Structure 1
Amino acid sequence: MAALTIAFLMDPLETVRVDHDSTFAVMLEAQKRGHRVLYFEQGWLRFNGRAAEARMRQVTVRREVGRHFDVLDEVPRELSDVDVLFLRKDPPVDVEFLHATQMVELCPERPPVYLNHPAGIRDANEKLFSLRYADLMPDTRISRELPVLLDFIARNEQGTILKPVDGFGGKGILFLSPGDRNARSAVELLTQGGREAVVAQVYIPESRQGDKRILMVDGEPVGGVLRVPSGDDHRGNMAAGGTPHKAVLTARDREICERLKPELRKRGLLFVGIDVLGDYLTEVNVTSPTGVVEANLLDDVCIEAHVIDLAERLAAEQRPAR
């Protein structure tokens, strides 16, 4: 097909870990197919009085630590000039990022194909979206009220996991046993004295064997990685020291994916990473899910090829309207 202009709204390219970053893997695949690769940061986005534009860098990329990209040019471009726009800024999804998801839709003439769609990202908090499927999840509470949370902790003999609603990368996740003398203090800290809601989930013992990050493209599972916590930690997140292992998708995993598929496609959430612990769904990650590089190495797949296949197909379908 004809070369596309593919842009990435992302964190600074200088900070990318070329041996780990999923966005970088997608950029490499796009370049390999002859597409024009651009990137810009959130702070470079603006409104020019008519439409959204950004100072964008056209780059060439390579998997070479220390010299992983070259800038070919850096000029302002309207987002209407882009065929495909990947929204891949790392969490947290704060107010500035929500503003960015609104700005990128200001393309009155010809919007790009969005991966993922900004409205879908706004609607799908990565901890709260999964609550639409409460029957697939561990027993869960969301509250800022200390009595509610302390009662939940006291009733879970296997223990309770607490985590911030807007947390990411394993930050702020605590394990508490019933009767733990730190429970009240921990809840007060996480809720900021009852000002912020937190997620409380019953502890699933299978978490010691790891949790699965399953990557989905257009509603279909295309690969995954099992993230195993270290011996002295309860968190499997790779950012928190978890070790990646090959993941084998079970019938239950595929059942969960099939349940999510219609709603993900409806909302334009076409490149996501869901987290499954034992038989339970725990999170749906829609901003910049990781695990692509690890899944590729461990399972001999090429997830980024599925992603660019989808981008090309959607751009071709939209092109007649352009």
Structure 2
Amino acid sequence: MAALTLGFLMDPLEAIRVDHDSTFALMLEAQRRGHQVRYFEQPWLRFGGSCAEARMRTVTVRREPGRHFDILDEQVHPISSLDVVFLRKDPPVDADFILATQLVELCGDKAPVYLNNPTGIRDANEKLFGLRFPDLMPETLISRDLAGLAQFVARHPQGTILKPVEGFGGQGIVFLQPGDRNTRSLLEILTLGGRKAIVAQAYLAESRQGDKRIIVVDGEPVGAVLRVPSQDDHRGNMAAGGTPVKTSLTPRELEICARLKPSLQERGLYFVGIDVIGDWLTEVNVTSPTGIAEIDKLDNTNVEAKVIDVAERLAGARK
């Protein structure tokens, strides 16, 4: 197809890990197909008239750590100048993040294709969205009530996982067992003294074998990686030191993906990473899901090509 202009709203390109970052893999694939690649950061967004705009860098990219991109051009462009916008800013989903998703929608009649849809991102909190399907989730409590949280911990003899609602990459995740003398103090710290809701989730013993990240593109699973925690940690996230291991999908995991598909497609969530432990869905990641590079390496595949295929199809339908 004709060359497109693809924009990536993301964290600083200088700081990414070229052997791990899924956004970088998407940029490489877009460039390989002859598309123009621009990137911009959240603080560079603004609205100054009829359309949101941003300072954007047109770049070429290569998989060479430390010298992985060259800037061809840097100037302010309207968001409407892009055919596709990849919203790939890492959480937390804070006020600045929400503002960015609102600004990029201010394009009048010349809105680009969004992967993922800004409204869908706002609607699909990564810790809470799966609770729309409670039969797929382990027992979960969302609360700031210290007494209620303490009772939840006491009720689960195998343990409880506590995590911040807006967390990512394994940050702030705590494992507690009944009778732990740190329980009250940790609950006070995590909830800011009862002022902030957190997630309490029944611990799944299968997590020692790893949690599975499944990449879902336009509602269909296209690859997966098992993330195995180290012996001295309970977190499998690769950002927290988990080891990626080759895996395949079980009938239960295919069932979970099929259940989620209509809701994801309805919200324009075309590129999603869902997390499964044992037979249970634990998270639905829609902001900047990772795992592409690891799946590509372990399965000798090209997951990013399937994402760019969707971007091209949607952009082609607009023309």
Shorter chain as denominator, the TM-score bin is over 0.9
Number of equivalences = 319
**DSSP 3-state at the match of 1:274:** strand
- C-alpha distance in structure 2 between counterparts of 1:252 and 1:144, whole Å: 32
- Aligned runs of 1:90-169 on 2, under 5 Å? 90-169=90-169
Q: Which residue of 2 aligns with 1:50?
A: 50
4+ residue runs over 4 A deviation: none
Q: For 1:36-61, what per-residue CA distance to the aligned partner results, in whole angstroms no more than 9, with x for missing partners?
A: 00000111111121110111110000
**DSSP 3-state at the match of 1:30:** helix
Q: Which residue of 1 aligns with 2:269?
A: 269
- C-alpha distance in structure 1 between counterparts of 2:287 and 2:61, whole Å: 22
- C-alpha distance in structure 1 between counterparts of 2:46 and 2:90, whole Å: 19
- C-alpha distance in structure 2 between counterparts of 1:43 and 1:177, whole Å: 42
**DSSP 3-state at the match of 1:23:** helix
Unaligned runs of 5+ in 2: none
The two structures have a TM-score, normalised by structure 2, of: 0.99
TM-superposed deviation, 1:300: 1.7
- C-alpha distance in structure 2 between counterparts of 1:105 and 1:186, whole Å: 40
For 1:146, the aligned partner's letter is L
TM-superposed deviation, 1:312: 0.4
Q: Which residue of 1 aligns with 2:301?
A: 301
Q: For 1:251-291, what per-residue CA distance to the aligned partner results, in whole angstroms no more than 9, with x for missing partners?
A: 00100000000000000000010000000000000000011
- Does 2:193 correspond to 1:183? no
- Does 2:69 correspond to 1:61? no
TM-superposed deviation, 1:109: 2.6
- Aligned runs of 1:78-93 on 2, under 5 Å? 78-93=78-93
- C-alpha distance in structure 1 between counterparts of 2:44 and 2:38, whole Å: 13
- C-alpha distance in structure 2 between counterparts of 1:43 and 1:192, whole Å: 28
**DSSP 3-state at the match of 1:214:** strand
Q: Which residue of 2 aligns with 1:204?
A: 204
For 1:253, the aligned partner's letter is E
- C-alpha distance in structure 2 between counterparts of 1:172 and 1:85, whole Å: 30
Q: Which residue of 2 aligns with 1:35?
A: 35
- Does 2:71 correspond to 1:71? yes
**DSSP 3-state at the match of 2:149:** helix
The two structures have a TM-score, normalised by structure 1, of: 0.98
Q: Which residue of 2 aligns with 1:318?
A: 318
**DSSP 3-state at the match of 2:133:** helix
- C-alpha distance in structure 2 between counterparts of 1:217 and 1:301, whole Å: 14
- C-alpha distance in structure 1 between counterparts of 2:309 and 2:50, whole Å: 32
For 2:185, the aligned partner's letter is S
- C-alpha distance in structure 1 between counterparts of 2:129 and 2:220, whole Å: 18
- C-alpha distance in structure 1 between counterparts of 2:264 and 2:160, whole Å: 29
- C-alpha distance in structure 2 between counterparts of 1:90 and 1:166, whole Å: 11
For 1:192, the aligned partner's letter is L
Q: Which residue of 1 aligns with 2:247?
A: 247
**DSSP 3-state at the match of 1:122:** helix
- C-alpha distance in structure 1 between counterparts of 2:115 and 2:235, whole Å: 28
Q: Which residue of 1 aligns with 2:282?
A: 282
For 1:113, the aligned partner's letter is V
Q: For 1:195-244, what per-residue CA distance to the aligned partner results, in whole angstroms no more than 9, with x for missing partners?
A: 00110011100000000000000000000110000001100011111110
**DSSP 3-state at the match of 1:236:** coil
- Structure 1, 173-182 or 203-212: larger mean CA deviation: 173-182
- C-alpha distance in structure 2 between counterparts of 1:201 and 1:107, whole Å: 40
- C-alpha distance in structure 2 between counterparts of 1:60 and 1:202, whole Å: 46
- C-alpha distance in structure 1 between counterparts of 2:239 and 2:45, whole Å: 28
**DSSP 3-state at the match of 1:102:** helix
- Aligned runs of 1:12-31 on 2, under 5 Å? 12-31=12-31
Unaligned runs of 5+ in 1: none
For 1:173, the aligned partner's letter is I
- C-alpha distance in structure 1 between counterparts of 2:42 and 2:311, whole Å: 22
For 2:131, the aligned partner's letter is L
